[in-house]
Amino acid sequence: MKFVADGMLGKLARWLRLAGHDVTYIGDLRVPANEQDDVLLERAKLQRRVLLTCDLGLHRRAKRAGIRSAYVESNDVVRQLVEVSKRCGQKIEIKPENSRCPVCNGSLKLASKDDVKNLVPATVLKAQREFWRCGKCGKTYWHGTHWKTILEMASRYN
């Protein structure tokens, strides 16, 4: 599913990207604050994205314009994921093979140890078997100690 998220939902955007969803985050676009609402609505409409917003007025504007929108009430990212899942009828699961880059939204591709040997610490190269690289920003990912935390957090909302 494709989303566009307002400036208050950066953490949610990153988590949805980890779950494999294509999320445009307004904070990544360097749009002046007074133009952000219009840009969010335009992107949602033209790119057929679901608008995710904490702004009830913006949510109502989107609805009046026939744009699919989910009003996110919670400040807690786990609760936000539950809200989005329920409002969009979409189960949210985090699987590395489906994940997108949480930083830039690029697609992640499986990479060999040879591909990443100059990009990760030697201890990581030795300890890990699987690596993923972002095709857009080049960032490299692996199942480090943070991965267990990510999966535990994800299990709280499913």
Chain segment 118-137, per-residue pLDDT in tens: 999 999 999 999 999 999 99
Q: Would you tell me how many other CB atoms lie within 10 Å of the CB of residue 9?
A: 24
pLDDT at 96 over 90: no
- 5: which strand partners? 25, 52
Q: How far apart are CA 132 and CA 97, in angstroms?
A: 9
Dig out the tokens for 56 from the structure: 């009830």
Burial classification of residue 103, based on how many CB atoms lie within 10 Å of its CB (0-12 exposed, 13-18 middle, 19 or more buried): middle
Residue 46 has pLDDT above 80, yes or no: yes
Domain boundaries, the chain: 2-88, 108-157
Share of the chain above pLDDT 70, in %: 93
Is pLDDT of 158 > 60? no
Average pLDDT over residues 144-158: 68
Q: In this structure, which CATH number among 3.40.50.11230, 2.170.270.10, 3.40.605.10, 3.20.20.60 belongs to the domain 2-88?
A: 3.40.50.11230
The tokens describing 129, both together, are 């078997």
Q: How confident is the model at residue 144 (pLDDT cuts 50, 70, 90)?
A: confident
Q: Are 126 and 116 in contact, with CB atoms under 8 Å apart?
A: no
pLDDT(154) > 90: no
Q: What gap in Å lies between CA 81 and CA 1, rounded to an integer?
A: 14
